[in-house]
Structure 1
């Protein structure tokens, strides 16, 4: 009797596996919109409340702090309770958080609501990464994980286009969060209907009813059900945080965490500050949202490009090269452009490379940890990395307030991605089996 994990890894993917991966990709797209919703709303918030750039930088970063905690805590929890329950819990948290943000009347209240929303976003990212890696076969795993990561900018493109239209039609920044809350809650029935618990988790943890759940999934995929559970793994793999720093994994975890921290600092400076920078250059908020949409179009194309290239080229060299090019593009963005077309073009190029690096990096994370540690490992790396993500917009806001111009601020923040490229080039890991 063959272990279903080996069957999944070896055979072509059934359409139900593809659907589960598609839903996970759509959930990451939802993450993309929920994270950047505050960026679309920021110019209106600054105008209504009369707050300075330092305060805006803090508001822009609050859900990133929440994402760090959510990715770490809820990601580890997903390795204990399951991927599917965690997806559903995160959707509830995100939906409530987005709705509450639309009712905020002050910076502290809005910051608290965004922090709460970030908990769900962070947990969602860790769980979806595990779902995609465990639903894919071995041949297409890097491709599917990178495509899933590409859902993030797609969500920003579609959601951002809607947000720009809503801002133009209503003139109220609250409408952005109301739209996000409604869409988020609509995903709950989709997950219940289309995303089963992964067989890798069920075979590893063996909860009550595991065999029935595995057989239900196998039958739906056109495969033979199991007469009984395969033998348990001879050595039960630990799922604690300490296991991520065990011999053979400690250096990998430390270095991947550093890579995520420094790259996210650069990436989120760029995507969080684009609308406010464009408005400060004299353009309307709707036009500023359009520049951010173009930035995410570049990010989506970058994700697709790295996904396709990963089938022919090693994923890590692709990520390192993308980081180096992305750092240069962010520095170029800081030189300033006098037209919307110029701003849109360089923002598009910068996000092409920086988001391609993120898409590829998630594939590196997924192949670096076994199933017992995959969501937890992703959660730790991304969780600590979100501290860098939160730091980027805050540092930029403080530097702007101190009188720094766009060029030196962009050059300083771009160094984060350059450092990440150097560290990733030194990581030595052995690709983990999907078991």
Structure 2
């Protein structure tokens, strides 16, 4: 009597078509918390920098070197560890990234000069970049087809949450201790606490196990399927001849080449606009005559707007195609940044404009993460994510620098805002080159 289930049923298809159970939702929640930890770790050096400058007697130029080291580390970590996650697994990579982040934070507390601190922040950035590439893949592979874009957007919302909550904790620690090292102590504890949580609660993704086929793959897949509340499969699905092999070279082969190039260019251009807002808002507000504490409040509102933007995009993705949402967000990002560049009277209006710019710029970023998750198959999903984000981080480092040169050249706030806002528009034009088939969940 024939079995009611196909002999080679694909467990990935079961997850894609089924409802998301509690363990799948938990996996998304854990990755959201890990991304929040990333958000705090990225800004930890910013919170600590005034104390570092005062204790060591260094100027802004030298301090800027330390601030840039982490971005370089994140770029390298995204590319290298993203590819590693496709080879050894998402879970192992996340655990390794947590160790790197925790050790990097610990070493930062021991540094006594600019050179060693720069090296330690570069090292920490490797873990932060690898974490984002791996968690993006995990969320995509634990979600069903209907909620994939929403899940990735929710995960990305963890970043501004980490910046807001972590920033509040860091401010309280600095106020109570007066020691910049206390910021990194908190980061060490947070990273250490997440290690056992990930170890016990986050299984390896089924998508990775199917494509990598490690020893005992079928048993591991069925164990995970049972934990997730889905039926098991009798055999591994046959390997597809069209499935790309795990390597960076495959990202530039066939159809993937167009996807990789267009997504990388779009991310690079848009992230320049995004980091112009994040890095320059405090300085712009101070130059308008307001106190540094007030300028920090305006930046908080930019992050609040970013958080709301990511949540709104995640909800709209249930009814509107993701690419359409991202295109709209990027166009409106350009408009919002230009509006911010017109200036405003009073902190209330400045905060509102900053929140509006944060809303659309961050909505575009989280939407891009969803497109990346849809565009790359399991075999190269973490590597593809890492490459796009890693190379795109060049835009993160370049954006604030370009804006600085434009200000020094005598261009006013409006002129700089127009120039930097065009990054989002260029990103939108790049996305127009993607075909509808490129957005299909693979």
Length-normalised TM-score, structure 2 = 0.91
**Residue aligning to 1:349:** 356
2:72 pairs with 1:74: no
**Residue aligning to 1:181:** 188
**Residue aligning to 1:304:** 311
| Equivalent-residue separation in structure 2 for 1:203 and 1:303 (angstroms) | 31
Distance 1:265 1:104, change over 3 A: farther
| Equivalent-residue separation in structure 1 for 2:232 and 2:418 (angstroms) | 57
- 8 Å Cα contact 2:11-2:232 kept in structure 1: no
- 8 Å Cα contact 1:53-1:397 kept in structure 2: no
2:423 pairs with 1:416: yes
Runs (4+) of structure 1 exceeding 6 A deviation are none
| Equivalent-residue separation in structure 2 for 1:155 and 1:233 (angstroms) | 40
2:266 pairs with 1:243: no
| Equivalent-residue separation in structure 2 for 1:11 and 1:399 (angstroms) | 52
What is the CA-CA distance between 1:103 and the residue it aligns to?
3.8
2:208 pairs with 1:215: no
2:433 pairs with 1:426: yes
- 8 Å Cα contact 2:259-2:438 kept in structure 1: no
SS in 2 for 1:249: helix
SS in 2 for 1:131: helix
SS in 2 for 1:190: helix
2:261 pairs with 1:260: no
2:97 pairs with 1:86: no
1:123-166 alpha-carbon deviations (Å, 9 max, x no partner): 11111111011000111111111111111111111112212323
**How many aligned positions are there?**
435
Distance 1:169 1:349, change over 3 A: farther
2:25 pairs with 1:18: yes
After the TM superposition, which residues 146-185 of structure 1 pair with which residues of structure 2 at under 5 Å, given as runs? Answer: 146-185=153-192
**Residue aligning to 1:392:** 399
| Equivalent-residue separation in structure 2 for 1:235 and 1:410 (angstroms) | 45
**Residue aligning to 2:212:** 205
Distance 1:136 1:278, change over 3 A: same
What is the CA-CA distance between 1:195 and the residue it aligns to?
0.8
Length-normalised TM-score, structure 1 = 0.92
| Equivalent-residue separation in structure 2 for 1:169 and 1:354 (angstroms) | 34
What is the CA-CA distance between 1:288 and the residue it aligns to?
3.8
Distance 1:431 1:418, change over 3 A: closer
Structure 1 unaligned spans of 5+: none
Distance 1:382 1:401, change over 3 A: same
Question: Which segment is superposed worse, 147-156 or 109-118?
Answer: 109-118
Which of the residues 118, 142, 151 maps onto 1:144?
A: 151
- 8 Å Cα contact 2:334-2:424 kept in structure 1: yes
**Residue aligning to 2:326:** 319
**Residue aligning to 1:115:** 122
| Equivalent-residue separation in structure 1 for 2:91 and 2:320 (angstroms) | 32
Question: Which segment is superposed worse, 353-362 or 43-52?
Answer: 43-52
Question: Which segment is superposed worse, 217-226 or 356-365?
Answer: 217-226
What is the CA-CA distance between 1:16 and the residue it aligns to?
0.4
1:175-217 alpha-carbon deviations (Å, 9 max, x no partner): 2222222212211111111110011111111111222221221
| Equivalent-residue separation in structure 1 for 2:184 and 2:420 (angstroms) | 28
| Equivalent-residue separation in structure 2 for 1:281 and 1:108 (angstroms) | 34
- 8 Å Cα contact 1:203-1:210 kept in structure 2: yes
| Equivalent-residue separation in structure 1 for 2:114 and 2:273 (angstroms) | 24
| Equivalent-residue separation in structure 2 for 1:97 and 1:418 (angstroms) | 36
Structure 2 unaligned spans of 5+: 1-6
2:11 pairs with 1:4: yes
1:296-323 alpha-carbon deviations (Å, 9 max, x no partner): 1111100011111111112112112211
**Residue aligning to 1:190:** 197
**Residue aligning to 2:4:** none
Question: Which segment is superposed worse, 370-379 or 236-245?
Answer: 236-245
SS in 2 for 1:242: helix
Which of the residues 374, 377, 395 maps onto 2:384?
A: 377
Question: Which segment is superposed worse, 86-95 or 173-182?
Answer: 173-182
- 8 Å Cα contact 1:145-1:362 kept in structure 2: yes
Distance 1:62 1:395, change over 3 A: farther
Which of the residues 354, 365, 377 maps onto 1:358?
A: 365
| Equivalent-residue separation in structure 1 for 2:266 and 2:342 (angstroms) | 26
